Each structure stands twice: as C-alpha cells, then as structure tokens.
Amino acid sequence: MSTILEVKNLKKYFRTPKGLLHAVDDISFKAKQGETLGIVGESGCGKSTLGRAIIRLHEPTSGEVIFDGQDITKLSNKEFDKVRPDMQMIFQDPYSSINPRMSVSEIISEPLIIYKRFNNRQGIENEVARLMDTVGLARRFANSYPHELDGGRRQRIGVARALSLNPKFIVCDEPVSALDVSIQAQILNLMQDLQAERNLTYLFITHDLSVVKHISNNILVMYLGNMVEYASSKDIFKTRLHPYTKALLAAVPIPVLGMKKERKLLKGEITSPIEPKPGCRFASRCEYAKEKCSNEQPELIEALEGHFVACHYVKEINNI
C-alpha cells in the first residue's frame, strides 16, 4: 500500500509567559493509505496538537507534512484550500464541536456549500440524506437541532460532516471518549466500516488503550511532545520496549478476573514541557534512569524490526 502521509521532524511550540512550550517536538512517521495510525499518550502529551498541526489547524513551527506527494506546510492558504477537503477532522466533544444554532442538515451541508459541490438545492439535499444514511442517522432528524440529540447521534453528525467532502484522510481526536461503552462500540464499528468502504486513512488520537489496540494498525506513543515508541499494534502490545509504554499498559485495569497484577506505579514529578532541559523527558519518573538519561536526549532507534524506541538503555532493559 502507498504512503499517503509523511510527517518529518514536525515541531509545534507555543509561546507562554514562562517561555516556549514544546507541545510537539520532532515527530516523524509515515501513514499508509487505508490504515489507522493510533496516537497514544496521557493528557498534555501533545497528541491533539500533533493532529491539529498536521492539518494546519495549528501552523507548525517547523518540519514537513507531505500529503499526497506535496509538502502542505509550504502551501499558501489559498493553495491549501484545495487540499483541505481531503483532510478532515472528527472532534472529541460532540457537545461543543457542532454549532447549536444550526440544524443537522445545515451542519452536514455547510462544507458542501462552501466548496460548491452542487449547484442546486436538490443536489445538496440528496447528498445530505445519503450521508445521514451512511452514518446511520435517521432522516427524520434532518431538521432537529443538536440539543435534541444524544451524544452518540451527535458524534454521528460529526462523522457525517467529516465525510461530506469525501476526504482521504481524517484526524479523529478522541472521537469516542465522551460516549458510553455500548454507544462507543457502535461508533467504532461505523468508523471501521467506512474505512473499509472508502479506503480512508485515520489518525486516531486517544488515551484509551483498549480502543487504540482495537482500531489501529500502527501505534505511536507520545510523552511530553516526544515520540517514545512506534510499532505495529500487535508488536507494541506483545513486546513493549520503552519503560513508559510498559508503565502505561500495566496501569490499564482489565475487566477480566484473575488478571490482577502487581501495579507498577510511576513515581516522581512530571517534567515541565516549557523550555525542557536536555535529556530524556521521562527520566524523572523512570526506574531505569541513569546519569546519561538526564543529559542526553535519546534518539529514536529501530530496536527490533519495524519497532522504534527512544531510550538509551532499551537493549539492556529488554535483553535484546
């Protein structure tokens, strides 16, 4: 399969009164068409900023985003408008990401009108109806307002809106986190069906590790703006190499009896992402940390085939 998106050394820094906040610091990866790349990490690690920087909702500080063969960070706004229909986003909170004063059909048709996809009302109406069918929203809701609908249905509006311009690539920022599990499963199935049908590529951002395992082909683990581990979903869950990934996966409560394990608790303070010191950002909480870790930033290396880790002592820790 072909690579549709390549991110090279992407950085996004924010200016704050206390100094530069390194929200996304030197991230590189490739995403193949028709696959899902999961971005995992805890709150504040920069995963949403990464998603937004890729589709230029935040202008990247530096780095390249090569989408469909061209570096979109170099495009002018006008040129980028031509690419935007191919890159869409589904937001986390179905309660605040849609305009409460627009009806369902207005919300879904807005992109179609902006991009002048149809030249008559009938065409737009037919397309909205088709999109509503696609995401499983009954047509009787076309004239309803968001407050009349529950969270699951609102998220379906978000999905329909993202699909309306027939994109190739969708950034999904915690699309199911606000939903109950029985509804969450409905939305996840819908997203998988759409992917298979339309050969969509997802960048799936979430803090829920069972969800990301279920939906992703590859997984990128972030910690305070850095990439700490990148591998196929299977590899990460079978052989996690980075100490942070190990602690993260061990902390997930599993709904099976007899699985209870000794909790490995992380101690120590979280390093500030504002003007970070050189060295590994996880060092202050890492049980294996040595002097080198707080002086020198570890490079991302291919520790096993297709399995990338940023840790000085990955070989020693894992006996590889």
Partner 1 sequence: MEKLLEIKDLVVHYKTSEFTVEAVNNISLSINRGESVGLVGETGAGKTTTALSIMQLIADPPGKIVNGEIYLDGVDLCKLSQRELIKIRGNKVSMIFQDPMTSLNPVITIGEQIAEVIRLHNKVSRSEAQMRAVDMLNLVGISEERFNDYPHQFSGGMKQRVIIAIALACNPELLIADEPTTALDVTIQAQVLDLMENLKKEFNTSLLMITHDLGVVAEICDKAAIMYAGEIVEYGNLEHIFNKTKHPYTKGLFESIPKFDEEVERLKPIVGLMPDPSNLPDGCSFAPRCPNRTEECTKGEIPAIEVEPGHIVKCINFIA
Which residues of the shown chain bind partner 1 in the complex (CB under 8 A)?
42-43, 150-152, 180-186, 188-189, 192, 207, 209-211, 213-215, 247-248, 250-257, 259-260, 263, 265-266, 270
CB of 214 to partner 1, least distance (A): 4
Nearest CB to partner 1, comparing residues 128 and 149: 149
CB of 185 to partner 1, least distance (A): 3
Amino acid identity of residue 174, one-letter, is: E
Nearest CB to partner 1, comparing residues 6 and 35: 35
Contacts of 172 (CB under 8 A, 6+ apart): 89, 90, 191, 202, 203, 204, 205
Question: Which tokens go with 65?
Answer: 């985003």
Per the rule left: phi > 0, alpha: psi between -120 and 50, beta: everything else, 224 is left
- Helix or strand holding residue 78 (H, E): helix 77-83
The SS3 of residue 74 is helix
Q: Do strands 169-173 and 201-206 pair parallel, antiparallel, or not at all (unpaired)?
A: parallel
Task: Yes or no: say if 238 and 252 are a contact pair by the CB < 8 Å rule.
Answer: no
Contacts of 55 (CB under 8 A, 6+ apart): 84, 87, 88, 89, 171
Closest listed residue to residue 203, CA positions, set 1, 2, 70, 4:
4
Nearest CB to partner 1, comparing residues 18 and 101: 18
Nearest CB to partner 1, comparing residues 83 and 183: 183
CB of 225 to partner 1, least distance (A): 16
Nearest CB to partner 1, comparing residues 61 and 177: 177
CB of 59 to partner 1, least distance (A): 28
Nearest CB to partner 1, comparing residues 75 and 188: 188
Q: Do strands 62-67 and 169-173 pair parallel, antiparallel, or not at all (unpaired)?
A: unpaired
Tell me the C-alpha to C-alpha distance, in Å, between residue 17 and each of 24, 274, 307: 18, 10, 38
CB of 251 to partner 1, least distance (A): 4
Torsion of CA 91, 27, 75, 168, to 10 degrees: -50
Nearest CB to partner 1, comparing residues 198 and 246: 246
Positive or negative: CA dihedral 300, 41, 295, 26: positive
Edge-to-edge order in the sheet of strand 87-90? 87-90, 169-173, 201-206, 36-40, 218-223, 226-232, 307-309, 301-304
CB of 63 to partner 1, least distance (A): 27
Nearest CB to partner 1, comparing residues 57 and 183: 183
CB of 39 to partner 1, least distance (A): 15
CB of 111 to partner 1, least distance (A): 27
CB of 121 to partner 1, least distance (A): 32
Tell me the C-alpha to C-alpha distance, in Å, between residue 254 and each of 258, 259, 294: 10, 7, 33
Nearest CB to partner 1, comparing residues 99 and 189: 189
